[in-house]
A = this chain, B = another copy of it.
Amino acid sequence: MEEIVNKKKERRQSSKTGMPPGRLVYIGEQRTDPVRITIIDYDDKEYTERQVTDPKETFLYKNTKTSTWINIDGIHKTDIIEQLGKAYDIHPLFLEDIVNTSQRPKMEEGQENIFLVFKMLEFDEAANGVKVEQVSLVLGKNYVISFQENVGDIFDTVRARLRNPDSRIRKFGSDYLMYALMDRVIDNYFLIMERIGEKVEDLEDKAEEIQSSEFVREISRLKKEVMVLRRTIWPLREVINNLLRGEMKVIKEGTLIFYRDLYDHTVQVIDTIETYRDNLASALDVNFSLVNLKLNDVIKVLTIISTIFIPLTFIVGVYGMNFKHMPELDWHYGYFVVMFMMAAVAGGMIYWFKKKKWF
């Protein structure tokens, strides 16, 4: 799923080659559905929530003292992005990153605002895989603008908390709002980890039995998925670390501790990913060892059986020869002597093998 999307993106990106930098090109699937713009303007007393389609309506809230959250669901209409960019003084390169959905998580400081881009993960039950969506945030003095690829319900709980006049989020400013949004996205990572964790455990249990080649393929698939997550989340750690270290004017001293908490969560997710990677590798190793040991057992026992019968078959062959003159054939107890002799040979070999601990 993830890879199919990525591939498409690369294709588009390559068709972008040669364009001047700063030109907005949406590289996802072609879409015509309208872009939903939600404006939430609040301070500890007032609260307004509006849904509009024209970005110009957001400009009303620009120079107010209240905090404003502008949420854009859909980035396929680049003119909307451009209008917002001009109004809120977002650098053209940031705008380009917003619509280029193959960005690595990164943070950039502008004159008056900071720009963040990172990935939202959702478990897609239908495809039984992880769906990756890009989220971009612009944090200004008293506004946050968030960009999502699709309409989603991930920020609903943040909205609910905003509506509650007693909640902490209403008392803090826009920097705390950005934290709240990021916290929601990172909280979702834990849900994904849980799903992956279940799959890893399943495969670990299976590793204890002999498995067919399907097992190897499944491990390989899951390992790849884990690697994609690692590459998605790893740079986010650096991004938050930069937020913590940098001297951003737009983030207040008192909010930093919350970002530190985000940092810890990200490290914890990465830790979990590393554990899963180790566990998958070890499951493959254990399975490989077991398959090998089992094959060794099979081959050993079967080879021993063959080896016992081969000399015996030779002996009976000797007495099946048609020579005129073969004294033993005429002996009265010849047959029984030979039978006994063969039993002795077989017994001797079994004893020797046992002594050598070959089975």
A157 in contact (CB, < 8 A): yes
Given the known inter-chain contacts A104-B267, A264-B104, A298-B303, please indicate yes or no for A18 contacting B290, CB distance below 8 A: no
For the residues of A in contact with B, the DSSP-based class is: helix
Is there an interface contact between B213 and A289, defined as CB atoms closer than 8 Å?
yes
A63 in contact (CB, < 8 A): no
Is there an interface contact between A311 and B319, defined as CB atoms closer than 8 Å?
no
**Contact flags (1/0) for A156-170 with B, using CB distance below 8 Å?**
010001000001110
Is there an interface contact between A217 and B213, defined as CB atoms closer than 8 Å?
no
Given the known inter-chain contacts A210-B357, A358-B298, please indicate yes or no for A310 contacting B313, CB distance below 8 A: yes
Given the known inter-chain contacts A224-B279, A306-B307, A314-B313, please indicate yes or no for A260 contacting B296, CB distance below 8 A: no
A51 in contact (CB, < 8 A): no
Q: Which residues on the B side are within 8 Å of A278 (C-beta)?
A: 227
A79 in contact (CB, < 8 A): no
**Contact flags (1/0) for A309-339 with B, using CB distance below 8 Å?**
1111110111111111110111111110011
Q: Which residues from 290 to 313 on chain A have a C-beta closer than 8 Å to any C-beta of chain B?
A: 290-296, 298-300, 302-307, 309-313
What is the CA–CA distance of A57 and B342 in the complex, to the nearest angstrom?
Answer: 89
What is the CA–CA distance of A169 and B358 in the complex, to the nearest angstrom?
Answer: 64
Given the known inter-chain contacts A291-B293, A325-B333, please indicate yes or no for A17 contacting B190, CB distance below 8 A: yes
Stretch at the interface among A66-74, A80-88, A280-288: A280-288
A347 in contact (CB, < 8 A): no
Is there an interface contact between B213 and A294, defined as CB atoms closer than 8 Å?
yes
Stretch at the interface among A29-37, A142-150, A191-199: A191-199
Given the known inter-chain contacts A104-B271, A224-B282, A329-B323, please indicate yes or no for A194 contacting B10, CB distance below 8 A: yes
By Cβ-Cβ distance, the 9 closest A-B pairs, closest first, are A316-B317, A319-B321, A18-B157, A323-B335, A320-B320, A216-B289, A17-B187, A302-B307, A309-B310
27 A–B pairs (Cβ distance < 8 Å), ordered by A: A7-B197, A10-B193, A13-B190, A18-B184, A20-B161, A21-B180, A21-B183, A102-B268, A103-B264, A104-B267, A216-B289, A216-B293, A220-B286, A223-B282, A227-B275, A227-B278, A291-B293, A291-B296, A295-B300, A298-B300, A312-B314, A313-B317, A321-B329, A322-B322, A323-B334, A324-B329, A325-B331
Q: Smallest distance from the beta carbon of A186 to chain B beta carbons, Å?
A: 10
Closest residue of chain B to A161 (Cβ to Cβ) is B20
Q: Smallest distance from the beta carbon of A304 to chain B beta carbons, Å?
A: 7
A257 in contact (CB, < 8 A): yes
Q: Which residues on the B side are within 8 Å of A271 (C-beta)?
A: 104, 231
Is there an interface contact between B282 and A18, defined as CB atoms closer than 8 Å?
no
Q: Which residues on the B side are within 8 Å of A16 (C-beta)?
A: 187
Is there an interface contact between B321 and A316, defined as CB atoms closer than 8 Å?
yes
